[in-house]
């Protein structure tokens, strides 16, 4: 029986595409749903073009009521019956109730070498701090933002002429390699960290 993977996105969905493309052949999992909190997220069309079921739940009408928004998310996810939920550029903070409901089944990719630079603007913070390296991390989601056990990291040297944009562009291909490798392990209950390159 293949494991069922739901992917949550907010934007272009390049990590989602990398995850979907990895789940073919003898891969032990299959994508069952791509869900966005923004109906205009570019990744929705990409998922449809790959034949994946999609859904959009706009968070904006819910205002500050995170629980009401998440109730809709949980309803859509419950229909899809995921074994694993991959956050892939999903830019909403989740409540502890949501995280507890999907306990130990949610993964996230974050564009920094966690535990450094939780939250936003990771690349400019790494450059401003004068760090020698930057990178990305995949971790299990817990109630604390960008916390939780690290399941994989990819690291690259920051160049003297890097800007936040060039660094983001150079890290993204590493994200596309790292996340599928972590997922492939995770769905067979292997949480040995993946270290790239």
Active site residues: 110
Whether residue 37 contacts residue 58, with contact meaning beta carbons closer than 8 Å, is answered with yes
Mark the segment that binds ligand GAR (CB under 6 A) among 13-21, 67-75, 76-84, 150-158.
13-21
- Nearest to residue 102, comparing CAs of 82, 80, 76? 82
Mark the segment that binds ligand GAR (CB under 6 A) among 12-20, 51-59, 75-83, 123-131.
12-20
Mark the segment that binds ligand GAR (CB under 6 A) among 10-18, 74-82, 149-157, 189-197.
10-18
% helix, strand, coil for the chain, step of 5:
35, 25, 40
178 binds ligand GAR (CB under 6 A): no
Whether residue 88 contacts residue 7, with contact meaning beta carbons closer than 8 Å, is answered with yes
Largest CA distance in the chain: 49
Q: C-beta of 108: minimal distance to ligand GAR in Å?
A: 7
For 96, the token pair is 């502890």
111 binds ligand GAR (CB under 6 A): yes
Please select the residue that binds ligand GAR; options are 31, 38, 47, 89, rule is CB under 6 A. Answer: 89
Sorted by sequence, the CB contacts under 8 Å of residue 62 that are 6+ apart come out as 68, 69, 72
How far apart are the C-alpha atoms of 50 and 77, rounded to whole Å? 19
109 binds ligand GAR (CB under 6 A): yes
180 binds ligand GAR (CB under 6 A): no
15 binds ligand GAR (CB under 6 A): yes
Q: C-beta of 59: minimal distance to ligand GAR in Å?
A: 15
How far apart are the C-alpha atoms of 104 and 61, rounded to whole Å? 29
150 binds ligand GAR (CB under 6 A): no
How far apart are the C-alpha atoms of 39 and 130, rounded to whole Å? 38
Whether residue 35 contacts residue 57, with contact meaning beta carbons closer than 8 Å, is answered with yes
Site residue total, ligand GAR (CB under 6 A): 15
* Site of interaction with ligand GAR (CB under 6 A): 9, 11-15, 43, 88-89, 109-111, 136, 172, 175
């Amino acid at each position: 029986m293949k494991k069922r993977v739901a992917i949550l996105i907010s934007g272009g969905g390049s990590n989602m595409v990398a995850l979907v493309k990895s789940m073919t052949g003898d891969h032990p999992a299959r994508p069952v749903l791509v869900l966005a909190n923004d109906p205009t997220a570019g990744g929705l069309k990409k998922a449809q073009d790959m034949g994946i079921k999609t859904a959009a739940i706009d968070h904006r009408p819910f205002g500050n009521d995170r629980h009401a928004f998440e109730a809709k998310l949980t309803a859509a996810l419950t229909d899809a019956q995921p074994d694993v939920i991959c956050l892939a550029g999903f830019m909403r903070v989740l409540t502890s109730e949501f995280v507890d409901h999907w306990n130990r089944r949610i993964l996230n990719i974050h564009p920094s070498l966690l535990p450094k630079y939780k939250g936003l603007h990771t690349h400019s913070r790494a450059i401003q701090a004068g760090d020698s390296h930057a990178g990305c991390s995949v971790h299990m989601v817990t109630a604390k933002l960008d916390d939780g056990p690290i399941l994989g990291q990819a690291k690259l040297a920051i160049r003297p002429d890097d800007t936040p944009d060039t660094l983001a562009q150079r890290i993204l291909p590493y994200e596309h390699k790292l996340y599928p490798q972590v997922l492939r392990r995770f769905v067979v209950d292997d949480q040995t960290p993946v270290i790239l390159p």
